[in-house]
Amino acid sequence: MQLINHLLESLFGGGSPVLSLYMSALAIDLITGYLKALKQHNWRSAINVEGLLIKFVTFFTIISAGIIDDLAPLMNISIPINIAFWWTIIITLYELGSILENISEMGVNVGFLKKYLGVLQDQVESDEEGKDE
């Protein structure tokens, strides 16, 4: 068990407690996504495979962020934050938004939450447009 904990600490830059939250959100997102597809009679293997590939790539970005956290001090680069930790939090929030979207599309009223998610999405989009200019 200690070996597994050490491996997780090494791979995820000390963000393993947050990683368990991410993995839980990921599992719930997959389940709600499958339920939504079944309810809407919209099960397409190509969409399923693409979604799963995106989940795997996202998981590997967390591992990559942990590697950056480990390599930076070896190269005498000071990073003031734990990149893997914060990246995992950001990705977890994205998964939570996807869960709410899936639940909403299945007919559950989450209007009060969608309002706040819409404001957050608008802020992210305006920040991205500002960077492009």
User: pLDDT tens, 55-76?
Assistant: 999 989 988 988 898 899 999 9
- Per-domain residue ranges of the chain: 2-108
More confident residue, 83 or 12: 83
Q: What is the DSSP letter of 14?
A: T
Q: How confident is the model at residue 108 (pLDDT cuts 50, 70, 90)?
A: confident
Torsion of CA 45, 48, 52, 53, to 10 degrees: 60
3-state SS string for 88-99: HHHHHHHHHHHH
Q: How confident is the model at residue 47 (pLDDT cuts 50, 70, 90)?
A: confident
Residue 57: both structure tokens together: 């790539």
The answer to whether 103 and 110 have CB atoms below 8 angstroms apart is yes
Q: How confident is the model at residue 102 (pLDDT cuts 50, 70, 90)?
A: confident
